[in-house]
Amino acid sequence: MRLDVVTIFPEYLEPLNVSLVGKARARGQLDVHVHDLRDWTYDRHNTVDDTPYGGGPGMVMKTDPWGEALDSALADGYETGSHAPALIVPTPSGRPFTQELAVELSERPWLVFTPARYEGIDRRVIDEYATRMPVYEVSIGDYVLAGGEAAVLVVTEAVARLLPGVLGNAESHRDDSFAPGAMANLLEGPVYTKPPRWRDRGIPETLLSGHHGRIARWRRDEALKRTTANRPDLIERCDPKAFDKKDREMLSILGWAPDPAGEPYGRFWRRVDGVEE
């Protein structure tokens, strides 16, 4: 996979040399190109921003540096045999970045990122490239960062670990919280490793039992507990067919019940008389 990032802070992308992404680069699974937007400015101050039309606070990133930088990155990629680029525009007004979207992006051969600063990029730049390639406007959460570089790191790491051969154990991401395709998207429960005692704290007995069925059930119950506590919205969205008899028992203990109007497969809601955890 080829990645291009255009930014006014190339040094902010240094973490792409480290850990999983760094190793994927070293192995040639990821071909990363970071471009300094200011290389496409021609005035003494290397200006990349200007005041907004219509007034208001803050500055807006100018069309010309972005247009030239993107044209250059794209031309370079095409010359070296890359194809089918997609533009990834980090913005708090984008669609939420989810595991499902990470999977979709991991299947593309070439991602071009446009992390902005100030109040963002002149809209005409996004509209222009949308005529040539798919554009994903992506938000990594309901908060506003000072710039999109951290979002690029987040998206890149989530995508890179899904690429074939990048994770040592290909199974690792199948059980992840938010693994897509499952009827029930549950959060992963707690995990433990050696030593068996630490500061007087032991390991849940089931995990030491060697009994695969009981361990799987324990993990599922813990996932249900964590999801009902931290992300009740995920339980409400779950296809109720995804819950087996034991899940339903655990959900009932946790204070959840199927919507009676939806019988035989009503979605689960927290009971009004819900049992506190």
Residues 65, 77, 90, 240: which binds ligand SAM (CB under 6 A)? 90
Is 171 assigned a catalytic role?
Answer: no
Cβ atoms of residues 233 and 196 within 8 Å: no
For residue 93, state whether it binds ligand SAM (rule: CB under 6 A): yes
Residue 55 in contact with ligand SAM, rule: CB under 6 A: no
Closest to ligand SAM by CB, 122 or 247: 122
Taking alpha carbons only, the member of 204, 182, 252 closest to residue 224 is 252
Angle between helices 99-106 and 149-160 (to 10 degrees): 70
- The yes-or-no answer on residue 50 being catalytic is no
The reply to whether 204 belongs to the active site is no
Q: Which residues of 202-211 are buried (b: 16+ CB within 10 A; e: fewer)?
A: eeeebbeeee
Decide: residue 48, CB within 10 A, 0-12 exposed, 13-18 middle, 19+ buried: buried
The answer to the question of residue 53 lying near ligand SAM (CB under 6 A) is: no
CA distances in angstroms from 6 to 62, 154, 258, listed in the order given: 13, 16, 49
Going from the C-alpha of 126 to that of each of 41, 76, 106, 123, the distances in angstroms are: 19, 20, 22, 5
Given 92, 100, 137, 226, which residue is catalytic? Answer: 92
Q: State yes or no: residue 65 binds ligand SAM (CB under 6 A).
A: no
From 68, 104, 119, 188, the catalytic residue: 119
Is residue 161 annotated as part of the catalytic site, yes or no? yes
Catalytic entry in 38, 108, 161, 231: 161
Q: Which of 258, 261, 226 is nearest to 242 (CA)?
A: 258
Instruction: Copy the structure tokens of residue 113.
Output: 């990122």
Least Å distance, CB 80 to ligand SAM, is: 27
Q: Does 115 bind ligand SAM (CB under 6 A)?
A: yes
**Can you read off the two tokens belonging to residue 83?**
């194809």
CB of 159 to ligand SAM, least distance (A): 15
Q: Which of 13, 125, 151, 184 binds ligand SAM (CB under 6 A)?
A: 151
**Region near ligand SAM per CB under 6 A, out of 74-82, 117-125, 195-203, 238-246:** 117-125
Nearer to ligand SAM by Cβ, of 94 and 255: the residue is 94
Of 79-87, 133-141, 203-211, 262-270: span binding ligand SAM (CB under 6 A): 133-141
Nearest partner of 233 among 106, 125, 104, 98, judged by Cα: 98
Determine the interface stretch with ligand SAM among 25-33, 143-151, 193-201, 223-231 (rule: CB under 6 A).
143-151
Stretch that binds ligand SAM, among 66-74, 112-120, 221-229, 247-255 (CB under 6 A): 112-120
State how far the Cα of 233 lies from the Cα of 219, in Å rounded to an integer.
Answer: 20
Q: Judged by CB under 6 A, which of 7, 91, 156, 227 binds ligand SAM?
A: 91
Instruction: Tell me the helix, strand and coil percentages in the chain, rounded to 5.
Output: 40, 15, 45
- Please name which of 229, 228, 230 lies closest in space to residue 248, comparing C-alpha atoms: 228
Active site residues: 92, 119, 161, 176
| Residues at the site binding ligand SAM, with contacts judged by CB under 6 A | 90-93, 115-117, 119-120, 139-141, 143-148, 151
